[in-house]
A = this chain, B = another copy of it.
Amino acid sequence: MRGWDGGRVGLWLIGARGSVATTAITGLLALQAGLVEPLGCVTERPALAGLPLPGWDELVVGGHDSVITPLDKRAEQLAEAGIIPPPVLAAVADELRRLDGQLRQLDLASGGPQRRYADQLIAELAGFAERHRLARVVVVNLASTEPPVRPLPEHAELALLERALDDPRRAVLPASSLAAYAALRAGCPFVDFTPSAGIGLPALDELAWQAGLPYAGRDGKTGETLLRTVLAPMFTDRALRVRAWAGTNLLGGGDGATLQDERNASSKLESKARGLASLLGEPVSAPLHIDNVPCLGEQKTAWDHIAFDGFLGARMTLQFTWTGLDSALAAPLVLDLARLLAAAHAAGRSGAQPALAFFFKDPLTGTEPVEHRFAEQARRLETWAAGLAGAGRWGSGRWGPCR
């Protein structure tokens, strides 16, 4: 990996005390201490080796959450669940306690006045950058999934949005989008790791371009959908017709509980269905379930049954069973995305980064058509990284509040 000269990078986590965030923070500390191999970290693959990226030591963690269970307690639960090895926990527990003391307790979900909430987060981000002398801060949304949002005219146009935010009686943005707004106003690249609306509103895309900030999203691709985007192209490339693709997801943990609320699950299910139809080129019978099974804890089991037809109409099936630890799959991608968006920012890129579709279930691609095929996403990521590496403008995009 070529040397990084883009300065220290802040990683501000929204939902900083959740499973994914705690795993990402613990893992980062372990990587900084050389305790573990960077398994699951895409940015450590040889294919991305030419790209100048901030080293693990150049990442500084901050963030906020509405819950107060401390990081080290959360990490203990994750150790019991088999996600964090006890020796790693023991080695970093003090540092987790120290970091927890620096996290902020904010809750942007409580309606208006939204301008004031935004200003509060902007101030936090500025303070964080200053305290740690950070060249840039990447904000990553890891908060619980929100229910789908009813479109408003204010979501489509920045000027209308600004006006609505000034009205203390209105609350036009869901919490995830308000956070994205604040991040952009604070001059921070933004990553949407959940299926919530977040930065995926035209008004926020407008702001990102205006502020010269890159962003990426939406909904980290870590399990069943990852496999679907890997397997579906096999069927189309081999001219096999998929007739049905049924799926069942069993999961416990906080995620399971959130998705048990049907309104929240519907965001997730919609995002999954969109991708499948797009991959196969035609709609298929695709019943899909997400079941909350608390006793499964952090473990997620997905079963998919695929019925397909071949030559002379021959009927065949493929079934897979995926037993994954969601937080362990998601956490390294959070670190990857922080590094990659930092690099994109340093290289002066703006707006949605379609080449990062590799990481997401429901990629935000701006005006480009959405690519769901995993292998093609991997190829584009590599091409993008190569382009970034040779950009020549490297280091030009320095951090600073854009207001």
Contact = CB atoms under 8 A, between A and B. Distances in A.
Interface of A: 23, 26-27, 30, 36, 38-42, 44-45, 82-86, 88, 226-227, 230-231, 233-234, 236-241, 243-244, 246, 248, 250, 285, 287, 289, 291-296, 301, 303, 305, 307, 309-325, 328-329, 331-332, 358, 373-376, 378-379
B323 A316 contact: yes
16 contacts: A23-B311, A27-B311, A39-B311, A41-B311, A82-B82, A233-B378, A237-B358, A244-B250, A287-B289, A287-B292, A289-B289, A296-B307, A310-B328, A314-B325, A318-B323, A379-B379
A117 B309 CA distance: 41
B305 A250 contact: yes
B312 A293 contact: no
B305 A328 contact: no
Contacts of A373: 375
A243 B367 CA distance: 41
A44 B311 CA distance: 12
Contacts of A303: 248, 303, 305, 319
A222 to B, nearest CB: 9
A324 B316 contact: yes
Contacts of A378: 233, 237
Nearest to A231: B230
Contacts of A244: 250, 293, 295-296
Nearest to A303: B303
Nearest to A41: B239
Nearest to A226: B234
B307 A328 contact: no
A132 B63 CA distance: 61
B310 A250 contact: no
Nearest to A234: B230
The list of the 8 closest CB pairs from A to B, nearest first, reads A375-B375, A314-B328, A287-B291, A40-B311, A243-B295, A40-B310, A320-B320, A248-B248
A308 B200 CA distance: 34
A147 to B, nearest CB: 21
Contacts of A30: 312
A64 to B, nearest CB: 23
A316 B84 CA distance: 13
Contact of A239 (B40, B227, B317, B322): B40
A311 B323 contact: no
Contacts of A329: 310-311, 314, 316
B88 A312 contact: yes
Contact of A321 (B39, B250, B319): B319
A374 B236 CA distance: 12
A268 B21 CA distance: 41
A42 B17 CA distance: 42
B317 A319 contact: no
A310 B39 contact: yes
